[in-house]
Amino acid sequence: MEPIQASLKKWMRENQNFQKNFSHLREDILNDSRVKELLLSNPQLEASDIDKNLMKLYEFKSQSKNCEDCPALEQCGNILAGYSPYLHVEGKKIRLTYDKCYKKVQREEQDKHKSLIQSLYMPKDILNASVAGLDHNLERGEAIKATLSYLRSLGTEQQEDKGLYFYGPFGVGKTHFLGAIANELAKKRIPSMVIYMPEFVREIKASLKDDSLNSKVEHFKKIPVLMLDDIGAESQSAWFRDEILGSILQYRMMEKLPVFFTSNYSLEQLENHLATTTRGDVEKVKAGRIIERIKQVSREVPLFGDNRRG
């Protein structure tokens, strides 16, 4: 009998504490400025209605505070990470819903932006380049002007269907121009792909072993904006030049899809480079055919300046 009485007394003590704590909790919730505002704008809510929805009000108060104090999305303390609570009243019922907080919306926008820029073997700093971060000087004036002209034409009736062929000495920042353009395209929801040519050649050769060649080439053909970095630096066979590069450029030429290039060679110099295969054969006609396709999908622009890597 004694254990039962002891348990009963203990329950009564705890129950009294609960009642006391509940009163304090209720008062704290109803003193919250946002809860007060909600109740004042809904005078139809009686004390019994408020008590029925007290847990919702408590959740709103505690979760909202977490949002205000949140230092970063990764440290979100809310029940649903990245979501903020909102209260609204329907008659005598209080509804609690959650919407994405501004930090989550911002993160999703950043992720969406990144997803629009695909790359093969490109350094991360290149993919973070911006037009504002490009060096503006007389030697780079023509390249800057051509870049801005292309970007301004996007979405207009005068939209340019050709990309740009940047050529100039080693280390002057040609690749940064590609990254900056890719980021501006992403802001306009235009997907692009930036490819480092020497690794691209190796990637295509490796694709022969796993039967992924056709699907990869199709992707390169159809991506809205293709960017080939450092063309001419790769050691390529006649097969790659004619069957891979040639077919990609042919498709994009026919569909009026732009291609951007960077190279240490002018188009005239590149033609001589492409004419000599890895076997030592000289095929000027086939090289000339590639150059003509490059001219159909891009416009040649010189880019000079100080060596940024020196």
Which domains does the chain show, CATH number per domain?
32-100 (no CATH), 108-302 (3.40.50.300)
Which of the pair, 106 or 209, is modelled with greater confidence?
A: 209
For residue range 259-286, list pLDDT tens digits in order. 999 999 999 999 999 998 777 778 899 9
Q: Please report the beta strands in the chain, taking only residues with DSSP state E, as ranges in sequence order.
A: 83-90, 93-100, 117-120, 163-167, 192-196, 225-229, 259-263, 298-302
For residue range 290-309, list pLDDT tens digits in order. 999 999 999 999 998 776 65
pLDDT, average across residues 13-40:
79
| 35-44, 50-59, 104-113, 243-252: which is most confident | 243-252
Could you tell me which of 35, 41, 78 has the C-alpha nearest to residue 56?
35
Distance, in Å, from the CA atom of 3 to the CA atom of 9, rounded to the nearest integer, reads 10
pTM: 0.66
Distance, in Å, from the CA atom of 223 to the CA atom of 258, rounded to the nearest integer, reads 10
> Residue 45 — pLDDT band, cuts 50, 70, 90?
confident
pLDDT, average across residues 74-80:
74
For residue range 115-160, list pLDDT tens digits in order. 656 776 677 777 788 888 887 777 788 999 999 999 999 989 889 9
Q: What angle do CA 199, 114, 192 make, to 5 degrees?
A: 55
